[in-house]
Amino acid sequence: MSGMRVIEAAQPFPFAFDKARTAVIVIDMQRDFVEQGGFGETLGNDVTRLQAIIPAVAALIGGARKAGVPVIHTRECHRPDLSDLPPAKRDRGNPSLRIGDHGPMGRILIAGEPGADIVPALYPVPGELVIDKPGKGAFYATDLSAHLERLGVTTLIFAGVTTEVCVQTTMREANDRGFLCLLAEDATDSYFPEFKAAAIAMIRAQGAIVGWTATTAEIVEALHG
């Protein structure tokens, strides 16, 4: 049976992809970005608006699992000894707590700490890949490329936070590596609504220069069609 699918309503034009060569990649849905007391808040952001996308991300993950499409999760976090945290990143901005400091959910953005883990509503099931990454992009300094090659994946469907930082960086990395990239536009958000809108516009401008966008409902329907 052919795995070819088309999302007619995708922007900027219909998105054709092979379901058998597709993975969903959920970027950084960690407590440190969406709950109070974590990294997002320490950078001065209101984290509550990011919580609103959890149902859409859950619907996308559920649809992918039902369709037999692999779900890959990422976490932005660092080693406890901070050996993968460049001083230029640690000292960025003027946060109330820096990466590695002790906060209400453990050490900020450190692997193994409660805050660096994925929110319970979107928790990976056994067998799903979880990629820990020290940068904003999920390809930099990780083995994501090797896993995608092993899985035979050529299309990536993106969700997660934040749209213009880790999601967009990873989409651009993937686009340059030859992947077809589709963003689930209601399953991603930013602390800044205008940055989300701008990121979505720039991704699909110039004939999908970075990738396509579609709604979660359209994507799930295509996966099951």
Compute the distance between CA of residue 74 and CA of residue 222 in angstroms, rounded to an integer. 24
Does residue 186 interact with ligand TIU by CB under 6 A? no
Does residue 162 interact with ligand TIU by CB under 6 A? yes
Cβ closer to ligand TIU: 76 or 117? Answer: 76
Catalytic: 133?
Answer: yes
Does residue 166 interact with ligand TIU by CB under 6 A? yes
Catalytic: 166?
Answer: yes
Tell me the per-residue interface mask from 12 to 51 with ligand TIU, x by CB under 6 A, - otherwise: ----------------x----x---------x--------
Interface size with ligand TIU, residues (CB under 6 A): 10
Give the burial string for 150-186 (b: 16+ CB within 10 Å, else e).
Answer: eeebebbbbbbbbbbbbbbbbbbbbbeeebbbbbbbb
Residue of 28, 32, 132, 189 marked catalytic: 28
State the alpha helices, DSSP H only, in 17-176: 31-34, 39-42, 48-51, 54-67, 87-90, 144-151, 168-176
The residue at minimum Cβ distance from ligand TIU is 166
**Window 86-145: residues binding ligand TIU (CB under 6 A):** 136
Cβ pair 221, 13 in contact under 8 A: no
Residue of 19, 117, 132, 166 marked catalytic: 166
Does residue 76 interact with ligand TIU by CB under 6 A? yes
Cβ closer to ligand TIU: 161 or 219? Answer: 161
State the alpha helices, DSSP H only, in 91-181: 144-151, 168-176
Cβ closer to ligand TIU: 67 or 213? Answer: 213
| CA angle, 199 then 205 then 209, to 5° | 95
Cβ closer to ligand TIU: 22 or 162? Answer: 162
Of 14-22, 80-88, 157-165, 216-224, the window that binds ligand TIU (rule: CB under 6 A) is 157-165
Region for residue 207 given its phi and psi (left: phi exceeds 0; alpha: psi -120 to 50; beta: otherwise): left
Compute the distance between CA of residue 170 and CA of residue 167 in angstroms, rounded to an integer. 5
Q: Output the smallest distance, CB 155 to ligand TIU, in A.
A: 22
Cβ pair 7, 218 in contact under 8 A: yes
The closest of 22, 29, 28 to 7, measured between CA atoms, is 22
| Helix H or strand E encompassing 189 | strand 180-189
Residues that bind ligand TIU (CB under 6 A): 28, 33, 43, 76, 136, 161-162, 165-166, 191
Residues with catalytic roles: 28, 133, 166
